[in-house]
Chain A
Amino acid sequence: MSILNLNIKVWRQNQNSNKGQFETYQVQANEHMSFLEMLDVLNEQLVREKKDPVAFEHDCREGICGTCSMVINGQPHGPLAATTTCQLHMRFFKDGETIVVEPFRANAFPVIKDLVVDRASFDRIIQSGGFISVNTGQAVDGNSIPIEKNRAEKSFEAAACIGCGACVAACPNGSAMLFTSAKVTHLGLLPQGEVEEDKRVQAMVAQMDKEGFGMCSNIGACEAECPKEIKLENIAFLNRSYMKAVFTGE
């Protein structure tokens, strides 16, 4: 088992209104640790020295909750493709390396502390229309509307979005198009969700703009950094659906 001596250059910012700055810490990690476990070791060290530990968000630690959002060496969720920070292991780093860790940076994601950002703007986009309007207890038989296997799978692939915000952090425009389009595609492909597609897409795009997310200019950094491999074609789906709604909808 090899031991890595690392310099962790991490963003420290007490709250959103304060100015932040980088601080560098020495951490000894072993190659089997996950990136978050390496930060645990750093925090144990800091607490023992009676210093303020680095705030970072985490919960499931198995790549599905989408909270462990941080930019590692310039890339959201670090260097590995299709991998969240919690599933990134230290064997992908070199002994003696300096690792730069920053929060997701976007106007619509204000910093709460250090690496923790507030992504309530994503919640509000979903609240504006990212659902199917059905009340509990009123559902018809799940088999009454057959859904083609391929269609169900395509919908599933869009539904795999974990809402982490890496797409926004990766985008030079700070656009939330990949996130929003994943939900529009997920629900729009299902017959249950298709009926209110016009309303949904317009409401979600309006909310996205209101939250201060930028415009999409088809750069594709979002797709490259997405830990769940959400495809750019979802954005095309949203655009088509939006055009249709604007010109033919209510």
Chain B
Amino acid sequence: MHRLAEVSVDIIDQCVAQGVPFAREYGGLLENRSFGGVQVSRTFYARGQTGQQLLIGAYQALSRQIGLGTVEMYNRHEMVELVLIDGKARGIIARNLITGELQRHAAHAVVLATGGYGNVFYLSTNAMMCNVTAAWRSVRKGALMANPCFTQIHPTCIPVSGDYQSKLTLMSESLRNDGRVWVPAKKEDAEAIQKGKLKGVQIKEEDRDYFLERRYPAFGNLVPRDVASRAAKVECDKGHGVSPTGLAVFLDFSDAIERYGKTEANKQGQHNLTKEQIIALGEKVVAAKYGNLFEMYDKIVGENPYKEPMKIYPAVHYTMGGLWVDYNLETNIPGLFALGECNFSDHGANRLGASALMQGLADGYFVIPYTIGTFLSKEISTPKFNPKDEAFVEAEKAVADRIQQLLSIKGSQTTESFHRRLGKIMWDYCGMARNEEALVKGRQMIRELREEFYKDLYVPGKADEFNPELEKALRVADLLEHGELMMVDALTRKESCGGHFREESVTPDGEAMRKDDEFSFVSAWEWDDKEPVLFKEDLVFENIKLVTRSYK
């Protein structure tokens, strides 16, 4: 954490130099704003697309190196196996996604920067191609997977509207700066809204339950993501949800619109305006702040959020768990390094806003260039590896066999349908709230689903061609194992901690309760199809005392 804080300043300088157009003050200096879970302005940003702009900056820098010939780029290739020689990572097997050809790439070390596994839940805010395969193939070769059960559920997403849904859309966290979250206080009102007989705006002020403000007066609507998400779930589980599925809460801007409208009227010296005129002024202010988000919501949902409160529901957004790494970002397999979301470091059990970008860039720009040298310096006299070596031949054959196995099942169910069922099990049994009974059941269900997958899957097409269905099947096969490990990890951690909420471990008023005496450790798992093996890395705090943050 100390190192991350130290290099985070260099990240901004580096990105500015690369041409990332960060927001600027009128004086020309870099501008800051506040972000979820913090109460001070300290986040650099580029409108609502900071991540996208940082990515473009990195893409340009990479493109420059490709142009210079220092990097050879393999677009549309996917890592499908890790190759070990004498216990060290010495290369990978990649599949050319256009031709289906399997390729051997030999090297002195392997660096993974392959992202998180949020798509194990099928529905998440992750891009569709996000998967666990590169990390999981490494686990199958002996790498340890750390804290897999720590997943972050983001509170402000557009709710699910039907079974066909493929992806959830995240609305920026900044909306909670001005929006108030509520549900109808009376269950019969909520039911009427669910049936479409009543609208949110028709509910009287005294019949609204602003549950975040009620439960957490100090932070109100700005409580951290896990707390806000769970509180929404509690209200929906009680039957107070507001969409046809009952799984949504309101995010209401009417107070902000009126407040901004009054200020704007005073600014313009207009003191005799009607309520409508004030609201019209306020809508303009809100449009300037969140206009693009409101438009996006309208486009997707078909409702005008200026007139009707938005409906939101939590969705899977980030996975804090990942490959276990040491301070040098090296896994327990010598020569195998993991960067960014695909490792477990830095975020503990609950990541704060903007810090995933920070970690990804710190790991890539400022950590690995120095730490990989420690490993390579000992390899200075190791000759180049030959991709014709037995280890590569065997690894390639294993992949070819795996592909043939999937293609030859010729069952009746699609990969998509298995993925959807896996996601439902994960969400229902290992989602926002977990308990022993559900986790035991969920684990069993995944094992059964995996068995069914290998008996009844249907993958169209051939191995040696452009075949997106086959790509998906290979990824879902790995997610089906990783999902089980998440259940096992969640079962073992009998405490509530960050994104992991165990219903058995709560304070008398229903808040998450950590058990630092028993669970102050990182869980690092070795995969075994029968029973994964747990290694504990103790968390030792020398200079700070462990406390629980209160949002009340």
Contact between chains at A139 and B170 (CB < 8 Å): no
Contact between chains at B59 and A146 (CB < 8 Å): no
Q: Scan residues 41-56 of chain A and give those whose CB is less than 8 A from a CB of chain B.
A: 41, 43-44, 47-48, 50-53, 55
Given A30-B162, A44-B414, A139-B13 contact (CB < 8 Å): yes
Contact between chains at A113 and B466 (CB < 8 Å): yes
Q: Is B14 an interface residue (CB 8 A)?
A: yes
Contact with A along B402-431 (1 / 0, CB 8 A): 000000000010101100000000000000
- Name the A residues within 8 Å of B67 (CB-CB): 127-129
- Name the A residues within 8 Å of B66 (CB-CB): 123, 127
The answer for the CA separation of A160 and B438 in the assembled complex, in Å, is 45
Cβ 8 A contact of A126, one of B26, B63, B296:
B63
The answer for the CA separation of A50 and B18 in the assembled complex, in Å, is 49
Cβ 8 A contact of B127, one of A50, A60, A136, A192:
A60
Q: Scan residues 129-176 of chain A and give those whose CB is less than 8 A from a CB of chain B.
A: 129-134, 136-143, 146-149, 152-153, 155-156, 159-160, 162
Contact between chains at A52 and B64 (CB < 8 Å): no
Instruction: Determine, out of A32-40, A98-106, A209-217, the stretch whose residues face the partner at the interface.
Output: A32-40
- Name the A residues within 8 Å of B64 (CB-CB): 127, 131, 133
Smallest CB gap from B26: residue in A: A149
- Name the A residues within 8 Å of B21 (CB-CB): 152-153, 155-156, 159, 186, 190
Q: Is B369 an interface residue (CB 8 A)?
A: yes
Q: Scan residues 383-401 of chain B and give those whose CB is less than 8 A from a CB of chain A.
A: none
The answer for the CA separation of A130 and B13 in the assembled complex, in Å, is 19
Given A50-B460, A149-B25, A155-B21, A139-B16 contact (CB < 8 Å): yes
Q: Is B35 an interface residue (CB 8 A)?
A: no
Q: Is A65 an interface residue (CB 8 A)?
A: yes
The answer for the CA separation of A201 and B414 in the assembled complex, in Å, is 48
Smallest CB gap from B370: residue in A: A137
The answer for the CA separation of A188 and B61 in the assembled complex, in Å, is 16
Contact with B along A81-115 (1 / 0, CB 8 A): 00100010101000000000000000000001100
Contact between chains at A89 and B300 (CB < 8 Å): yes
Q: Scan residues 151-172 of chain B and give those whose CB is less than 8 A from a CB of chain A.
A: 161-162, 164-167, 169-170
Contact between chains at B24 and A37 (CB < 8 Å): no
Q: Is B265 an interface residue (CB 8 A)?
A: no
Enumerate chain B interface residues (CB-CB to A < 8 A).
10, 12-30, 46-47, 49, 52-53, 56, 59-61, 63-64, 66-67, 73, 75, 98, 125, 127-129, 161-162, 164-167, 169-170, 296, 299-300, 302, 365-366, 369, 412, 414, 416-417, 458, 460-461, 466, 468-469
Given A131-B64, A137-B369, A152-B23, 15 extra CB contacts under 8 A: A32-B162, A34-B166, A52-B460, A60-B127, A61-B167, A83-B299, A123-B63, A131-B19, A134-B14, A136-B366, A137-B14, A156-B53, A159-B56, A190-B21, A192-B18
Chosen A-B contacts, 7 in total, with CB atoms closer than 8 Å, are: A33-B162, A36-B166, A62-B170, A64-B52, A140-B13, A149-B28, A152-B21
